[in-house]
Amino acid sequence: MLKKVNRIKIIQVFFITFIFIFIIFETLPAQNTTDSGAYFYDDNFIIVKTGPEDTLTSLAEKYLQNPAMKWIIARFNDIDSVKTGQEIIIPLKPFEWGGLTKNGYQTVPVLVYNKFSRSNAAKLVITETAFEEQMEYLKKSNFTVISADDLFDFLNYKAQLPEKSVVITMDGGWKSHYTIAYPILKRYGYPATFFINTDSIDSDKNLSWKQVSIMVKDGYDIQSMSKSNQNLVQLSKGDTFKEYLKKLEDEILIPQKVFKIKLRRKCKYIAYPSGETNALVAELLMKYGYRGGFTLTRGSNPFFINNYTINRSMIDGDFSLSQFKENLSVFTERALK
């Protein structure tokens, strides 16, 4: 009998609750989907009916708080622009993790430059004119130059990237990075990472700490290329393994300490001298808080690349524009079965 009474009470409570919700719903003003603006949203999407003033940029600024994110709205809706009265879905979270699609997966090229010259090219020296031409090509071809942090957010499934994303890096801390490359990058609004040997800063042919600080204040990323640019995988002649391990830790740890003192920022990436690394180096980098390491292995980077063996393509001074383009692979076709 008691069970029957309890069941009746449950039914009554449910019925009253249903009636209450129905009354509230009916008294709410009806949504007019003929008006512009958002008329549906949850944690994943917002649906918007566009007005005459709406553009991809304005929608990204209003709903994603970042006008540069217009590409993600365009990509999700497969459009290049918006029309008045159009229903647009605005994704609030990544929808292609790792750039993986039914036709293949996204790859991100990382370009690396060594020295620059006003006019004289060589194997590792690119002219000012050639560098400007390459940056202009990226702009005209609708590439998005992203930061190292953006790349690692992509690799760690924290963010989605524009389809044609590319990273620019500089090795060696040469003075020409400041006098030639930096002004061009700044003019185009491109981010870049400059890898330096802390022992070499303030020497004749290298950057000064003052120049490094200026670039940091301008938003440019400065990271480590070790303390002294010594090969990290080779033991010096006569060294015991214990001595090698101590030197290796110094090459990794001292730049972190110097960065903290000179730049008041954390050193979290390394470009391996000569591009070489091994499992021991990677383990020490992880132990001491580095987020990733960059090699000199030519090729683009898929989402499944090891964070401590990031590929980079060296742009030689004698490259033609066609050869430059060959290092910009952004997608690998591989249909899912």
Q: Please give the structure tokens belonging to residue 188.
A: 């185009």
Q: Which is nearest to 166 in space by CA: 152, 147, 179?
A: 147
Low-confidence ranges of the chain (pLDDT < 70): 1-36, 336-337
332: which residues sit within 8 A by CB, 6+ positions away?
A: 104, 105, 107, 300, 302
The two structure tokens encoding residue 145: 């130059």
pLDDT at 36: 62
Ordered domains of the chain (ranges, CATH): 37-93 (no CATH), 100-333 (3.20.20.370)
Identify the pLDDT of residue 12: 52
Burial class (CB in 10 A: 0-12, 13-18, 19+), 287: exposed
Map tokens 């449910």 to a residue. Answer: 14
CA max distance for the chain: 99
pLDDT digits (tens, 9 = 90+) for 285-320: 999 999 999 999 999 999 999 999 999 999 999 999
- Rounded distance between C-alpha atoms, residue 172 and residue 229, angstroms: 8
HSE-up of residue 335 (Cα within 13 Å, Cβ side): 1
Provide the 10 A C-beta neighbour count for residue 153: 16
- Residue 300 · residue 280 · CB < 8 Å: no
In percent, the amount of the chain with pLDDT more than 90 equals 80
Asked if 225 and 270 count as a contact pair (C-beta separation under 8 A), the reply is yes
Per-residue pLDDT tens over the stretch 87-142: 999 999 888 889 998 899 999 999 999 999 999 889 999 999 999 999 999 999 99
* pTM for this entry: 0.85
What is the model's pLDDT at position 235?
85
Contact 156, 97 (CB under 8 A): no
- Which residues in 40-49 are b (16+ Cβ under 10 Å) and which e? eeeeeebebb
- The three-class DSSP label of residue 81 is coil
**Number of alpha helices (DSSP H) and beta strands (DSSP E) in the chain:** 11, 16
